[in-house]
Amino acid sequence: MGSKTFKGGVHPFEGKELAKDQPIVEVLPKGDLVYPLSQHIGAPASPIVAVGDKILKGQKIAEAGGFVSSPIYASASGTVKAIEPRRVAVGDMVKSIVVTNDGEFAEAGYSPCDNVTALSTQEIIDRVKEAGVVGMGGAGFPTHVKLSPKEPDKIEYIIANCAECEPYLTADYRRMLENPQELIEGMKIILQIFANAKGVLGIEDNKPDCIEKLSAMVKDEPRIEVCPLQTKYPQGGERQLIYAVTGRAINSGMLPADAGCIVDNVETIIAVYNAVKLGKPVTSRISTITGDAVAKPGNYLYSIGTSYAELIEAAGGFKTQPEKIISGGPMMGFAMFGVDIPTTKTSSSLLCLTKDEVAEIEPSACINCGRCVQACPELLVPSRLAKFGDNGLSGEFEQWNGLECIECGSCSFVCPARRQLAQSIKTMKKQVLAAKRKK
C-alpha cells in the first residue's frame, strides 16, 4: 500500500454505503430561513438589514465583524422577519437574522471574472473574503485569513482535504465525482496566490474512484497532484493530514503555515472557485443526510439557513423514529435535541440514528490498557488526561500536554471500559483555556 498516513487513529464502522451512490440533489427551501451571525470562527457578523427589509437571494445581510470574521448572504429572497437569538446545532443561542421566504428566489446580480489569471493576490483574497468563504469542513475558519499568511513565499503546499474520514459522510465524495473541475479550478486559483506552492489533493483510499478520476484530470497540471491516504480516522484532521502529505508535524501552538501548508476542505475550495470566478457568495452547500432512520439517505445541495427539519423532509422523512440526531459525523458531530435548527456554512452532515449506542454504555474502571494511547493521533495519554480532568488537576493536565488534544474522540471510541475520555478532556481543555484567557 502506497497510501500515506499518521501514527495512531482508529477504524470506526464506515457506514458510507448508505449515501455514497446517491447523486447530489438540489433542495429548495420552503419555510423561513435562519442565518446565525456566528457561523465561523472569529467575531460575529453584524447585520446590515433591518426587520421588514425586502432582500434578494445572494444579497449581503451581515457584514464581517472584523478581520477574522466573515459576511453572511441571504440564500433566498424574502422579508426580514426578526433579528433574534436562535438555537444552533451546537446547542447555544446565537443572534440570527430570520427571513420569511417568498418562494420567488429573486437573485441579486453577481460580478463574474472572465480572466482569473489577471487578478492580483489581493484581488483574489478580497473576492474570497467578500463572498463569505469559511472552512466548510466543519471548523469555519475564515478562508481569507488562511490565504493571508505572514510569509506567502514560504507556503509550499496547498492541501485539499479530500480525506472525508468521518464515518457516514459522503458529501465531499460526491463533490469530487460530480464537480471535480470546480475543485481543480479552485485549487488553481489558490495556487495563483502562492507561487512556490504545489497543490495536493489528499484522498483516503476508500475512494479509489475519486483518486483515479482526479489523478487523470491533474495529469497535465504540473503544480497539482493527488496523494492517496490510508483510510483511518482522523486522517482528515488538519495536523494529521499535513503530516501524512508532507511528513511535517505541527502542534496546537502553530499554524499550518508554520509548516509551509494551507489546508482547505473540498467544499471550501469549490466555494473559492464560485467566489473568485463566478463572483457568487456562499449561499448553498452540500450535506449528507443519512443514517438508518432516514428514508432516502443521500447528498443534498441546499440553501444555507434552511432548517434541518426541511432537509429531513427532502430526504423522505424518517422511516423509523430516530433516537439520536447528529449534526456532523458520528466521531465529532454535535447531537441535537431537536431538528428545528438552521443549517450553517459548516453543516457537513446530518446523521439520524435509530439507536443511540452510547446511551446504554456503562463506564467501568480504567484498567490502564493503553488502547487510548495507541489510538491518540496526538500521541497523548488520554486515560491520564481524563483523570486529571475529572479531578480538576489543571497543572498535571497541561504537563501531560492536554492542550494538544484535537478532540477527535478516538480515545473514547477504543476504550474497552467505555469511559467518556474525550468528554472529560474536552471539558478540562475548555477550563484551562478559559483560565489562560483571564490572565
The answer to whether residue 335 forms part of the interface with another protein (CB under 8 A) is yes
How far apart (Å, rounded) are the C-alpha atoms in residues 403 and 130?
33
Sheet containing 198-204: give its strands across. 224-229, 198-204, 157-162, 261-265
Among 48, 108, 113, 400, binds another protein (CB under 8 A): 400
How far apart (Å, rounded) are the C-alpha atoms in residues 203 and 187?
15
Largest CA distance in the chain: 64
Name residue 19's amino acid.
A
Nearest CB to another protein, comparing residues 80 and 408: 408
The answer to whether residue 322 forms part of the interface with another protein (CB under 8 A) is yes
Q: Which of 286, 295, 205 is nearest to 14 (CA)?
A: 205
CB of 379 to another protein, least distance (A): 5
Among 57, 146, 324, 429, binds another protein (CB under 8 A): 324
CB of 226 to another protein, least distance (A): 25
The answer to whether residue 401 forms part of the interface with another protein (CB under 8 A) is yes
The answer to whether residue 391 forms part of the interface with another protein (CB under 8 A) is no
Nearest CB to another protein, comparing residues 199 and 328: 328
The answer to whether residue 393 forms part of the interface with another protein (CB under 8 A) is no
Nearest CB to another protein, comparing residues 73 and 308: 308
Stretch that binds another protein, among 142-150, 188-196, 206-214, 395-403 (CB under 8 A): 395-403
Among 208, 323, 392, 435, binds another protein (CB under 8 A): 323
Q: What are phi and psi of 94, to 5 degrees?
A: -125, 135
Nearest CB to another protein, comparing residues 221 and 356: 356
3-state SS class at 363 = coil
Overall residue count recorded for the chain in this entry: 439
Sheet containing 46-47: give its strands across. 46-47, 60-63, 72-73
- Binding-residue pattern over the window 158 to 197 for another protein, x denoting contact by CB under 8 A: ---------x------------------------------
Nearest CB to another protein, comparing residues 70 and 235: 235
Q: Cα–Cα distances in Å, from 224 out to 24, 135, 190?
A: 26, 21, 11
Among 113, 373, 398, 431, binds another protein (CB under 8 A): 373
Nearest CB to another protein, comparing residues 41 and 381: 381
Residues 31-50 that bind another protein (CB under 8 A): none
3-state SS class at 249 = coil
The answer to whether 207 touches 168, Cβ cutoff 8 Å, is no
Q: In this structure, how many other beta carbons lie within 10 angstroms of the beta carbon of residue 225?
A: 15
How far apart (Å, rounded) are the C-alpha atoms in residues 375 and 384?
14
The answer to whether residue 149 forms part of the interface with another protein (CB under 8 A) is no
Size of the site for another protein (CB under 8 A): 74
Residues 227-286 that bind another protein (CB under 8 A): 239, 243, 249-251, 253-254, 258
The answer to whether 109 touches 66, Cβ cutoff 8 Å, is no
Among 41, 68, 113, 381, binds another protein (CB under 8 A): 381
- Binding-residue pattern over the window 59 to 98 for another protein, x denoting contact by CB under 8 A: --------------------------------x-------
- Binding-residue pattern over the window 104 to 143 for another protein, x denoting contact by CB under 8 A: ----------------------------------------
**Which contacts qualify for 428-435: CB closer than 8 Å, 24 or more apart?**
428/385, 428/388, 428/389, 428/392, 428/394, 428/397, 428/402, 429/389, 429/397, 429/402, 429/403, 429/405, 431/392, 431/394, 432/394, 432/397, 432/398, 432/402, 432/403, 433/403, 435/394
CB of 40 to another protein, least distance (A): 20
Residues 414-433 that bind another protein (CB under 8 A): 414-418, 420, 422-423, 426
